[in-house]
Amino acid sequence: MELIDRRLLLAGGLAALVPLPALARGLASYPPPTREAMVPVEGGRVYVRVNGDLAGPRPPLLLIHGGPGGTHDALLEALPLADERAVIFYDQLDSGRSDRPDDPANWRVARFVDEVEAVRRALGVKRWHVLGHSWGGTVALEYGARRPGALAGLALASPLIATKSWIGDANILVDALPAPIRDEIRRCEAIAAPQPPDCGTATRAFYAAYNGREPASPARRAYAQAAGGRGFNAKLYETMWGSSEFVSTGTLSKYDGEPLLARLDGRRTLFICGQYDEARPATIGNYAARVPGAEFAVIPGAAHNIFGDRPEETIATVRGWLSRQDALA
């Protein structure tokens, strides 16, 4: 998501509400992939990137990006984890470097979950850990609820578990913004698309507070530029979700994955989010409490973009959890 200029936020009083942290130190550049592939799935092919040795002694980690319509770029700050195990990224169908048939018939939760298993089979991975972020957390939740034998550990990072809870959190966070921004967001919610430019300013203010509190690293900007425009798919996002992070009018507007929490193996599950996350720590903590034995971690200083806002802290948290999961194997 695009971030608003910090000077505007400071002028609006947002810094006094939620202090903005110092710039995080992301990777200066990304190492080249060890392996790339286009994997057949229902509806087309998805782009897969691997860093590290898939045949190494520790189970690899698959990372599932958010959106819907996002790309794996947002999770590449997790690449340092490849010093211990292979890390696998992929772009969901109609996103990023994957095929774009642009057929809404493919935009079903179950089909996106099936992509996960298709990637595993194509790479020949017998056992792995899976981390899903945001909407990717929805995909990971659904995958984990299937209790596949290949799943060594499941991490739900800032996940969308149920739309009603997500919108409830968004309403709390909008109300906490400085009055001019809050009132502008509420006014714009009543305006049908296309909205006037000033509505975009208020929306970006929400994102800057709760979605991503730091600018993209130089490595991520260069990587996205190299993709030649094959990035975020706004049509997919709007069709499945809606016009913004705090308005859901798409096919996910009634999504409820809460019953799936009872199917998860708590010993194998991590819930993680940022201190200033739009997936509020209070909500994610409550979800974690409903999965006996699950771990729960909050990344200090991070908003929703935990890997981008606080890469070192997030990687350390995930690395420790992965080590504990390996010990259970």
Active site residues: 134, 277, 304
**Alpha helices (runs of H) in 18-162, residue ranges in sequence order:** 109-123, 135-145
Residues in CB range of 268: below 8 A, 6 or more apart: 151, 152, 153, 154, 325, 328
Q: What is the DSSP string of 244-260?
A: BTTB--STTTT-B-GGG
The answer to whether the CB of 288 falls within 8 A of the CB of 273 is no
84 class by beta-carbon count within 10 Å (0-12 exposed, 13-18 middle, 19+ buried): middle
Assigned token pair, 301: 């200083």
Torsion of CA 138, 141, 146, 151, to 10 degrees: 120
Query: How far is the C-alpha of 148 from the C-alpha of 33, rounded, in Å?
Result: 27
C-alpha angle 260-243-201 in degrees, rounded to nearest 5: 125
In the chain, the amino acid numbered 216 is A
Query: How far is the C-alpha of 23 from the C-alpha of 142, rounded, in Å?
Result: 34
Assigned token pair, 282: 């209070």
Residues in CB range of 265: below 8 A, 6 or more apart: 144, 147, 154, 293
Specify which residues 5 forms β-bridges with.
Answer: none
Q: What is the DSSP string of 133-147?
A: ETHHHHHHHHHHHT-
